[in-house]
């Protein structure tokens, strides 16, 4: 927890003393905050399985994406404070419910709390694969410290140009930072490995959310992955963009994906020959379904 005295967990490196009540960019305090937890069936098949992915939606975020579907808790701080014992209790509960893994969503500000809770699980001989579910905006140095904590990295790679990254998430330097982070994740965990039951045990999954008017950036990132890591990295191409939060009022962000944009990306995915991955079906005309959005604050399984 000493890291919180001068917090540099994410690339913003605020140097804030969170233990004394000061708040950095993400406004995360001294105690862990969780919006909701429970089995989640909307993740990639080797994570969700039949028992669900034991997902913990942490409050707060190190980015500020204008289209964030989770903004009530990521941007506005909805959630409940948990002690270290409380967080350990959540992990225990998810394990007892038969979840296939512990899926930590936006955990970066809470890494020390998670490590403390996981140490408790090890003492109790309670084990599950740990999924680090992130926007990709990560410090390489922080990831290095996670090598023996995390089993599966589930990371986004969203933009390839500074203008989009600045407009969309408030950080023009997102792409080089996220790409450096993925290289570190890949160095640590490598390709996705499945157990005899088909569930993920270790590895790296890169999610690419196709953004409206920005299919070229998804395509650039697909080429970057193929050139710098190779087609062995598992990819998950997402077509679910919905203009949530501040996006409805923003030109260029206020519509869903067009079929032509989706098909261009699908063509490149096929051409590059990735070995393993998933691609959401095009659902441009379907009603909005925001994963996790309808969950009640503080509710349990
Ligand atoms: S985790 Fe939060 S407080 Fe810490 S460096 Fe990042 S934005 Fe700042």
pLDDT in tens, 218-254: 999 999 999 999 999 999 999 999 999 999 999 999 9
| Domains in the chain, number | 1
pTM across the whole model: 0.94
Q: Is residue 22, in this structure, part of any structural domain at all?
A: no
Identify the CA nearest to 32 among candidates 122, 128, 120, 104: 104
Average pLDDT for residues 140-147, to the nearest whole number? 98
The enclosing domain of 216 has a CATH number of 3.20.20.70
The closest residue, in CA terms, to atom 2 on ligand 1 is 26
Q: Is residue 222, in this structure, part of any structural domain at all?
A: yes
Q: Is residue 14, in this structure, part of any structural domain at all?
A: no
Which ranges of 49-132 does DSSP label H, i.e. alpha helix?
Answer: 71-74, 84-96, 111-123
Q: Is residue 106, in this structure, part of any structural domain at all?
A: yes
Q: Is residue 300, in this structure, part of any structural domain at all?
A: no
Query: Using one digit for the tens of pLDDT, what is the confidence trace for 11-32?
Result: 999 999 999 999 999 999 999 9
- Closest ligand 1 atom to the C-alpha of 10? 6
State the pLDDT at residue 285: 57
Q: How confident is the model at residue 1 (pLDDT cuts 50, 70, 90)?
A: confident
The closest residue, in CA terms, to atom 3 on ligand 1 is 24
Residue 261 pLDDT > 50: yes
State the pLDDT at residue 282: 83
| Domain coverage including residue 140 | 32-279
Q: Is residue 120, in this structure, part of any structural domain at all?
A: yes
Residue 301 pLDDT > 60: no
Q: Is residue 25, in this structure, part of any structural domain at all?
A: no
Please list every protein residue whose CB sits less than 6 Å from any atom of ligand 1: 7-10, 12-14, 16, 24-26, 28, 62, 108-109
CA dist 135 and 128 (Å) reads 22
For ligand 1, pick from 10, 21, 170 the residue to mutate: most ligand atoms within 8 Å of CB.
10
- The per-residue pLDDT of the chain, averaged, comes to 92
Give the other-Cβ count within 10 Å of 286's Cβ: 10
Identify the CA nearest to 57 among candidates 34, 83, 39, 81: 34
Residue 286 pLDDT > 60: no
For 69, phi then psi, to 5°, come to: -75, -20
Query: Using one digit for the tens of pLDDT, what is the confidence trace for 175-227?
Result: 999 999 999 999 999 999 999 999 999 999 999 999 999 999 999 999 999 99
Q: Is residue 135, in this structure, part of any structural domain at all?
A: yes
């Amino acid at each position: 927890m000493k890291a919180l005295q001068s917090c540099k967990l994410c690339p913003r490196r605020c140097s804030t003393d969170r233990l004394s009540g000061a708040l950095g960019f993400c406004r995360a305090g001294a105690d862990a905050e969780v919006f909701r937890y429970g089995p989640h069936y909307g993740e990639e098949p080797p994570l969700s399985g039949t028992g669900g992915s034991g997902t913990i939606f942490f409050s707060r975020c190190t980015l500020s994406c204008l289209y964030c579907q989770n903004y009530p808790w990521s941007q506005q701080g909805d959630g409940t404070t948990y002690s270290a014992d409380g967080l350990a209790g959540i992990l225990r509960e998810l394990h007892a419910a038969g979840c296939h893994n512990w899926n930590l969503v936006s955990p970066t500000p809470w890494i020390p709390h998670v490590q403390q809770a996981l140490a408790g699980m090890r003492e109790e001989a309670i084990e599950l694969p740990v999924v680090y579910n992130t926007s990709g905006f990560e410090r390489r140095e922080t990831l290095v410290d996670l090598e023996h904590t995390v089993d599966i990295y589930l990371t986004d790679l969203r933009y390839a140009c500074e203008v989009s990254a600045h407009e969309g998430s408030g950080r023009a330097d997102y792409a080089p930072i996220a790409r450096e982070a993925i290289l570190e994740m890949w160095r640590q965990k490598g390709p996705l490995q499945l157990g005899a039951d088909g569930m993920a045990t270790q590895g790296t999954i890169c999610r690419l959310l196709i953004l409206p008017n920005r299919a070229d950036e998804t395509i650039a990132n697909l080429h970057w992955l193929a050139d710098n890591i190779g087609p062995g990295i598992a990819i998950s191409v997402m077509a679910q963009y919905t203009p949530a939060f501040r996006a409805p009022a923003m030109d260029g962000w206020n519509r869903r994906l067009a079929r032509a944009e989706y098909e261009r990306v699908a063509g490149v995915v096929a051409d590059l020959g990735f070995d393993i991955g998933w691609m959401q079906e095009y659902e441009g005309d379907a009603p909005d379904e925001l994963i996790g959005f309808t969950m009640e604050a503080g509710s349990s399984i």
